Amino acid sequence: MSLEVGKKAPDFEAKDQDGNTIRLSDFKGKKVVLYFYPKDNTPGCTAQACNLRDNYDALLDAGYVVLGISPDSEKSHKKFIEKQNLPFPLISDEDKTVHNLYGTWAEKKNFGKTYMGTVRTTFVIDEEGNLAEIIDKVKTKEHSNQILK
């Protein structure tokens, strides 16, 4: 399934860093920033998470709920949140179910090696649960500006 702006965002159910079940459908009536990132505590992912943290009030004022998601474990997410003082939940997708729904688990190339990994992508979802924007060229250090522009 290819996702397009204007289409319904795929609903999902997964656990956050505290083992709470998160469903996209629980946020109907709210705007959601669902951002997929490769790995906790890596330079690019930390820059992205901290940029969202530092601009969290502006995102809240604009009516957004922020949800991060990666293949890391709940335990890894909990440590990342504590270390970086992140005010939003991180969803664990170890089995890549949600990644596959959103097409963010794909073949990547780096230094001549081919491997499967997370394609850094942010989905902005409107109050009706439709895709309002898909940001596939994420600027980790100024990501909030890409969302709030």
Q: Which residue has the tokens 């942010």?
A: 122
**Given 24, 45, 81, 125, which residue is catalytic?**
45
65, exposed or middle or buried, with CB in 10 Å at 0-12, 13-18, 19+? Answer: middle
SS3 22: strand
- Give catalytic status of residue 50 as yes or no: no
* Angle formed at CA 139 by CA 42 and CA 148, multiple of 5 degrees: 120
- Among 102, 94, 120, 134, which residue's Cα sits nearest to residue 24? 102
Query: CA dihedral in degrees (109, 86, 145, 35; nearest 10)?
Result: 40
The residues that are catalytic are 45
